[in-house]
């Protein structure tokens, strides 16, 4: 009885078809479209321009169903995203840190292209009256800094005083003198450019401060409001979503040249922030108004300090 010969491979079968497809990234077996080990796609090709731009933007936020779901809740459902995040439903929305970063960068980019420098810094009025609202004196009549004062500071007439024992004092004085010698329009452009350049850094520093203010005004026992955020990280999440909404709303107001639309946006910002505090923290309307008023005043002071710092950075770090 003759032995049975094994079936021959079809002529159309190639050695590549009989081999197990492996991932180009980690080398694991990957017969499907994506590698089960590292998740990379198995069919590699160069992206088109549209795919390239979408991939670049996807490093911050993916423009898919999750993006539009997040933006709808962010703009029209005060406190909804925060509550969903605390409840653990996070995959369906963009994370707060990424959303805040995206909204901040878009806002400052739009501001740079759609806002005239004169509307950011009115240098003519500052040059005439100074920060304190007083009329500036001629240079010869301006009071000199006391010898007892040291460090780096501005006097009432916006004159920079740098102590000689401060590191880099000569460089700072030279940059300030160079700034004072510029024409008014160039001063305005330099200040506006500096504020837009360093503005995002200032906002990243102010965000934790805003979260601290929320933690400060909502200190109390958990018995009456058991779902009220207590941990600093929870307040930081509230601050991130609130700032993201503010920057998106302001970006829309800049892009739509309508005074009526901008008035509606400003009104909605006030209502939204008040409503979001009640949804997230609970409490009475009066208590929310008092807490929101304190946070607004304290945060305005911090923003004012940051603005002065941006002006100085725009001059000295040029």
Which residues fall within 8 angstroms of residue 308, CB to CB, at 6 or more apart?
131, 154
Q: Report d(CA 245, CA 151) in Å as an integer.
A: 39
pLDDT band of 309, cuts 50, 70, 90: confident
Element housing 153 (H / E): strand 152-154
Q: Report d(CA 284, CA 18) in Å as an integer.
A: 71
The average confidence (pLDDT) of the chain is 74
- Token pair, residue 176, equals 């300030």
Length, in residues, of the chain: 318
Total-model pTM:
0.65
Spell out the alpha helix ranges (H) of the chain: 15-18, 49-57, 65-76, 80-86, 96-114, 117-120, 123-129, 169-180, 184-217, 232-255, 259-281, 285-316
DSSP string, 231-284: SHHHHHHHHHHHHHHHHHHHHHHHHS--HHHHHHHHHHHHHHHHHHHHHHH---
Residue 123's pLDDT is 45
Residue 296's pLDDT is 93
Distances (CA, A) of 147 to 54, 171, 236: 59, 20, 43
Residue 91's pLDDT is 82
Cβ pair 318, 190 in contact under 8 A: yes
pLDDT tens digits, residue range 163-181?
555 555 566 666 666 766 6
Above 70 in pLDDT, residue 194? Answer: no
Residue 194, classified by CB atoms within 10 Å of its CB into exposed (0-12), middle (13-18) or buried (19+), is: buried
Which residues pair with residue 160 across a beta bridge?
Answer: 154
Among the residue ranges 100-114, 143-157, 244-258, the one predicted with the least confidence is 143-157
pLDDT tens digits, residue range 107-154?
888 887 776 655 555 544 444 444 444 444 444 454 444 444 445 555
Output phi, psi for 159, to 5 deg.
-100, 130
| 222: three-class secondary structure by DSSP | coil
Q: Pairing between strand 152-154 and 160-162?
A: antiparallel
Q: Report d(CA 120, CA 190) in Å as an integer.
A: 11
Among the residue ranges 24-38, 43-57, 180-194, 260-274, the one predicted with the least confidence is 43-57
Cβ pair 282, 251 in contact under 8 A: no
Among the residue ranges 137-141, 188-192, 208-212, 239-243, the one predicted with the least confidence is 137-141
Cβ pair 239, 214 in contact under 8 A: yes
């Amino acid at each position: 009885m003759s032995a049975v010969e094994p079936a021959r491979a079809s002529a159309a079968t190639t050695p590549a078809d009989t081999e197990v497809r492996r991932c180009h990234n980690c080398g694991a077996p990957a017969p499907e479209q994506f590698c089960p080990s590292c998740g990379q796609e198995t069919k590699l090709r160069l992206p088109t321009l549209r795919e390239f731009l979408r991939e670049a933007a996807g490093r911050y936020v993916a423009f898919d169903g999750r993006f539009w779901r997040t933006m709808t809740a962010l703009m029209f459902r005060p406190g909804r995203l925060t509550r969903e995040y605390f409840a653990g439903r996070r995959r369906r929305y963009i994370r707060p840190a990424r959303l805040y970063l995206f909204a901040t960068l878009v806002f400052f980019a739009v501001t740079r292209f759609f806002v005239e420098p004169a509307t950011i810094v009115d240098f003519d009025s500052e040059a005439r009256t100074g920060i304190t609202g007083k009329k500036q004196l001629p240079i010869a009549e301006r009071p000199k800094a006391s010898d007892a004062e040291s460090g780096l500071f501005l006097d009432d007439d916006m004159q920079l005083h740098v102590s000689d024992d401060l590191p880099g004092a000569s460089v700072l004085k030279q940059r300030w003198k160079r700034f004072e010698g510029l024409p008014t329009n160039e001063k305005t452009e330099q200040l506006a450019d500096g504020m837009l350049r360093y503005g995002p850094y200032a906002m990243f520093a102010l965000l934790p401060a805003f979260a601290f203010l929320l933690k400060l005004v909502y200190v109390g026992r958990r018995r009456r409001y058991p779902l009220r955020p207590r941990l600093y990280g929870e307040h930081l999440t509230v601050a991130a979503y609130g700032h993201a909404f503010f920057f998106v709303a302001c970006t829309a107001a800049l892009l739509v040249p309508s005074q009526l639309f901008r008035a509606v946006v400003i009104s909605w910002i006030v209502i939204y922030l008040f409503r979001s505090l009640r949804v997230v923290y609970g409490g009475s309307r009066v208590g929310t108004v008092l807490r929101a008023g304190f946070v607004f005043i304290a945060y305005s002071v911090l923003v004012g300090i940051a603005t002065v710092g941006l002006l100085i950075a725009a001059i000295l770090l040029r």
